[in-house]
Structure 1
């Protein structure tokens, strides 16, 4: 067991606190996985209107993320994270008492705005607490913690959905506050001052060293990273289909009663696969570069989502979930490690803001485009599109990996000749 969990044994104690906080928060992550069903079933919105509100919720994340990232680089990671995550949780509480009010979608959009503002501070905090040598296992452990909680949350929400709907909103808020209590008690402020930045300068990778100037100037100097983020945006278009198209497909195949419960089983399968296989996948790919692992994840996306166009039995849906979840593990445990390894220490909050902003573009436009597409096409044809998209993005990432390796080899030879 020590050998199996070896990648996590030397991580800072603060990372373990964040691990438990994320696990608790995810155990109460009830609302967003069932947002599509709630809007269409409880509020009787059309497919196009449901896609519209899903798009607004995702788009609201963008300005929130930008504001939160800027504040995290100037006011501190911990303060900004606790403030906005608390506001996001408070936005859920009125929803429990409003019945089928048309106000609820707007409160969910407001919660997404606040959640977007909290996310960059959280990401910058993790980057502050780690370095290039331990980031892959750190992000892997945190990803595992999220899904340990998520293994329970959606399944519980699936049973609460029909008969105890208000508790979906209340439970989400309460577990968020509990996770914040852990951060408040055990995590110090992590933003480095000028003296600390100078002290650690020689221990940072070249792309992590402090820089002056704006976010835009720092990004322009990193063209490979920008292309990488574009690929992540396309991946998010593919991945968002599991919370938009998949619930509709299950309701169409299995009916109004079984559809939500089966979706809960699928989401639990997704989380359990992460729980069981994240450590193994991390161990097997520990020596591979993050960008290559993210490309490999796209191949699993292509296979897992692509097969949904030709199945109609629950056990095949569960097998499909297992396949695309392996892709999720590879992408989820490596994408942010790659970004952190290429982010200047002075811009971590803002870079952790721009990454979700770019990714959320695919997440936001996915439901809108898919909703319009479904007005004239079948649900099954959506999965063929995901197959082609994920395959092309994976190929592009492998090309970027080759380009990056070539640049490193050239730089190494030039340095050796000096």
Structure 2
């Protein structure tokens, strides 16, 4: 007997229930994230642009990707301080517009090193934007609805990203300049939504002082960034271990497209585009049931499980020779991605002083992003020396070790809680 319309309606209703009572600002962030995600064309295809279109070596490409991530650092530090001083919305509107503007000349240029220069400049301004964006999402949520809100925003990113990557896979061959121009247009459209529908969310002095009287792990602190960081040692250890996840995850934009190109030639770009779309579609399908299933467990334990999925999903690519292995791998590491993203930010947010959200969202990503930054140049050198399969063995080991460390940190926290 087939399920009737009423049964299907109830299933859909239960799936949507967690999202119904979120603040309007969260829905606005979700919509802006969908639009922005649709136009993320450049960075997932940057390795292919530089190697397949301009003929740069894996080592040169890895070095350029490393420079793009390094450019993020000073922008991030500047953005964190500005976000806590001048407000989330003002910083975000100006810096994201400048980031988008840097892509416009890239569509007219034929020199890969000049293109790389503008991309690096774009990353610098994006670095300023990110602390404001993350602090804004913390401001409009509370610990009790944060996992649900963050999962909705995360799904919005992947909904847009999935559509965008499918488009970008064809633009790469047919109209490569529009990879840059489309990215810029989408970023500006997302800014319009933020400007119209989201007010400034910077906590007032009265709100900060009131929070100091509570026992919340988010209560405001007097003093500078260094003092605030030292007051959160568990968060620092957590962030250090997450660095190894970034080291592993970065290879899905570096080793994965190059491996697809080596095995399948020009069809590798299309395969990579489909894999990225599959990743985004799976995120949309899996996020709600995974959040519902794993909500009973502490966020840190969920993040530890995510690392094991990264280790297995990326590790199996060392033996990939046919497309079905790539699809199975994407299913596994995407499940890990969902678990990681929907729990990592919750753990960080719940341990960040509300007075330092901008600065914490500047400094901590530098710690967690270090692995992401050094992964392409290290992967490029290993690929040159012993082939791409060796890269996957290396990153799989890194993810597994980090997962073990996070598990023990979670056990220690639980023992202290019940001591």
TM-score, shorter chain, exceeding 0.5: yes
Unaligned regions of 5+ residues in structure 1, if any? 411-418
Secondary structure of 1:151 counterpart: helix
Alignment-derived partner of residue 360 in structure 2:
351
Alignment-derived partner of residue 278 in structure 1:
287
Indicate if the aligned counterparts of 2:212 and 2:221 stay in contact, CA closer than 8 A: no
Tell me the CA shift for residue 13 of structure 1. 1.0
Q: Distance in 2 between matches of 1:281 and 1:77?
A: 30
1:239 to 249, 254, 258: 249
Instruction: Give TM-score, length-normalised by structure 2.
Output: 0.95
1:168 aligns with 2:174: no
Alignment-derived partner of residue 219 in structure 1:
229
Tell me the CA shift for residue 319 of structure 1. 1.2
Q: Distance in 1 between matches of 2:113 and 2:207?
A: 50
> What is the 5 A alignment of 1:246-395?
246-255=256-265, 257-395=266-404
Alignment-derived partner of residue 149 in structure 2:
138
The aligned length equals 408
Q: Distance in 1 between matches of 2:174 and 2:15?
A: 42
Q: Distance in 2 between matches of 1:200 and 1:260?
A: 51
List per-residue Cα deviations over 1:379-413 (Å, max 9, x = no partner).
Answer: 11211112211111111111011111112222xxx
Indicate if the aligned counterparts of 1:302 and 1:387 stay in contact, CA closer than 8 A: yes
Instruction: Give TM-score, length-normalised by structure 1.
Output: 0.95
Indicate if the aligned counterparts of 2:260 and 2:268 stay in contact, CA closer than 8 A: yes
Indicate if the aligned counterparts of 1:250 and 1:259 stay in contact, CA closer than 8 A: yes
List per-residue Cα deviations over 1:175-230 (Å, max 9, x = no partner).
Answer: 1111110000010000011112234556x653211101111111112111111101
Q: Distance in 2 between matches of 1:6 and 1:285?
A: 17
Alignment-derived partner of residue 402 in structure 1:
411
Distance 1:32 1:354, change over 3 A: same
Secondary structure of 2:104 counterpart: helix
1:98 aligns with 2:109: yes
Q: Distance in 1 between matches of 2:155 and 2:18?
A: 13
Tell me the CA shift for residue 360 of structure 1. 2.0
Indicate if the aligned counterparts of 1:132 and 1:205 stay in contact, CA closer than 8 A: no
**Higher mean C-alpha deviation, range 359-368 or range 65-74:** 359-368
Q: Distance in 2 between matches of 1:282 and 1:149?
A: 20
List per-residue Cα deviations over 1:57-83 (Å, max 9, x = no partner).
Answer: 011111111110100000000000111
Secondary structure of 2:254 counterpart: helix
Indicate if the aligned counterparts of 2:64 and 2:116 stay in contact, CA closer than 8 A: yes
List per-residue Cα deviations over 1:110-138 (Å, max 9, x = no partner).
Answer: 11111111000010001111111111111
Q: Distance in 2 between matches of 1:48 and 1:100?
A: 18
List per-residue Cα deviations over 1:89-109 (Å, max 9, x = no partner).
Answer: 000001011133521001001
List per-residue Cα deviations over 1:329-388 (Å, max 9, x = no partner).
Answer: 011111111111001111000001112211221111001111111221121121111221
Unaligned regions of 5+ residues in structure 2, if any? 1-11
Alignment-derived partner of residue 25 in structure 1:
36
